[in-house]
C-alpha cells in the first residue's frame, strides 16, 4: 500500500465520523508495532493538506520489558518533526511478577490506556488516536459475540468524560494486509512485541477465526464489517456519508 492510498482511507474515516476539528492536538500512542507507526505516517500526511489545522504528538508507554529499544522510534519522530514523549511504567512487572496474571490482556490494556491518557493530558492534547484497523474492529465484534453475548465493537470516536479526552480511530477502513504492505514498502522501524503471551490470546483466536470464515465463505470478512457499520451499535457516532 502506498502512502496516497493510506491517506485516502484515513481521510474517509476522519470525514465520515468528524474525527478532527480545527486546533486539535492529537496524541498518537506508538508501541513500536506496525499499526501505530502506520498511523503516525497517516496523520502526518493528512496534516499537510487537511482543511482543519491540527497538531500531532507521539507517546510511547514503556511497559518495562527488557530489551525494548525506543531509539528507532525517537529517530523516526525526530525525522518526522513530531514531538515524542516516553512514559516509563512497571506494568510488565506488575502483571507477570507481582500478580502473575494468566489472562493479563484486559488489565494490561486498562493500565496502558491510563498511562497514555495521563501523558496526553500533560502534553496539552485533547484527542488520542488509536491504531485499530478494519481487522481489529471485526475481531472485536466476534469476541464480543462469543464471550459477552452482545453485538459490539470499537467506536470510531469516543469521548472520555472523566479525562476530557476524545479517542479517535482514523485507520478503521484500512485492512491489516495493507498495513503489512505499508510497513515493508516504507521500511518502518517495527519493534517485536516483548509480551510473553503474544500470539496466544483470545484476539489471536478471533483473527484466525475470521481468516477461516473468509476462506470458507469468500467475502464474509467484508460483510461482517458492513454489518458493524450499519448495526446501530450503542455509543457509535452518526456516520456522515
Residue 3 scores a pLDDT above 60? yes
168-182 confidence digits (pLDDT tens): 999 999 999 999 999
pLDDT band at 193 (very low <50, low <70, confident <90, very high): low
Extract the C-alpha cell encoding 218: 469468500
127-156 confidence digits (pLDDT tens): 999 999 999 999 999 999 999 999 999 999
SS3 category, 155: coil
For residues 217, 223, 227, 230, the Cα torsion angle rounded to the nearest 10 degrees is -160
pLDDT band at 51 (very low <50, low <70, confident <90, very high): very high
Q: What residue ranges do the domains of the chain occupy?
A: 3-229
pLDDT score recorded for residue 199: 56
What topology is assigned to 3-229 in CATH? Answer: Rossmann fold (3.40.50)
212-234 confidence digits (pLDDT tens): 999 999 999 999 999 999 999 99
One DSSP character per residue, 3-41 reads HHHHHHHHHHHHHHTT---TTEEEEEE--SSHHHHHHHH
Closest by CA position to 18, among listed 151, 162, 169: 169
**Residue of higher predicted confidence among 62 and 128:** 128
Tell me the whole-structure pTM to 2 decimals: 0.91
Residue 10 scores a pLDDT above 70? yes
Residue 96 scores a pLDDT above 80? no
pLDDT score recorded for residue 194: 64
Amino acid at each position: 500500500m502506498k502512502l496516497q492510498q493510506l491517506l485516502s482511507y484515513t481521510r474517509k474515516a476522519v470525514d465520515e465520523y468528524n474525527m478532527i476539528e480545527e486546533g486539535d492536538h492529537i496524541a498518537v500512542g506508538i508501541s513500536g508495532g506496525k499499526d501505530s507507526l502506520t498511523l503516525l505516517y497517516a496523520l502526518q500526511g493528512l496534516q499537510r493538506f487537511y482543511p482543519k489545522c491540527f497538531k500531532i504528538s507521539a507517546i510511547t508507554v514503556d511497559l518495562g520489558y527488557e530489551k525494548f529499544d525506543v531509539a528507532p522510534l525517537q529517530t523516526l519522530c525526530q525525522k518526522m518533526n513530531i514531538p515524542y514523549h516516553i512514559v516509563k511504567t512497571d506494568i510488565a512487572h506488575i502483571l507477570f511478577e507481582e500478580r502473575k496474571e494468566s489472562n493479563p490482556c484486559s488489565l494490561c490494556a486498562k493500565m496502558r490506556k491510563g498511562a497514555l491518557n495521563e501523558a496526553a493530558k500533560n502534553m496539552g492534547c485533547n484527542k488520542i488516536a488509536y491504531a485499530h484497523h478494519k481487522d481489529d474492529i471485526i475481531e472485536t465484534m466476534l469476541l464480543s459475540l462469543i464471550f459477552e453475548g452482545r453485538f459490539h465493537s470499537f467506536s470510531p470516536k469516543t469521548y472520555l468524560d472523566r479525562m476530557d479526552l476524545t479517542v479517535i480511530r482514523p485507520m478503521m477502513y484500512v485492512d491489516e494486509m495493507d498495513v503489512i504492505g505499508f510497513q515493508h514498502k516504507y521500511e518502518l522501524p517495527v519493534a517485536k512485541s516483548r509480551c510473553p503471551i503474544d500470539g496466544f490470546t483470545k484476539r489471536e483466536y478471533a483473527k484466525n477465526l475470521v481468516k477461516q470464515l473468509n476462506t470458507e465463505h469468500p467475502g464474509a470478512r467484508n460483510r461482517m464489517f458492513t454489518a458493524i457499520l450499519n448495526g446501530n451499535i450503542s455509543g457509535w457516532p452518526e456516520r456522515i456519508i
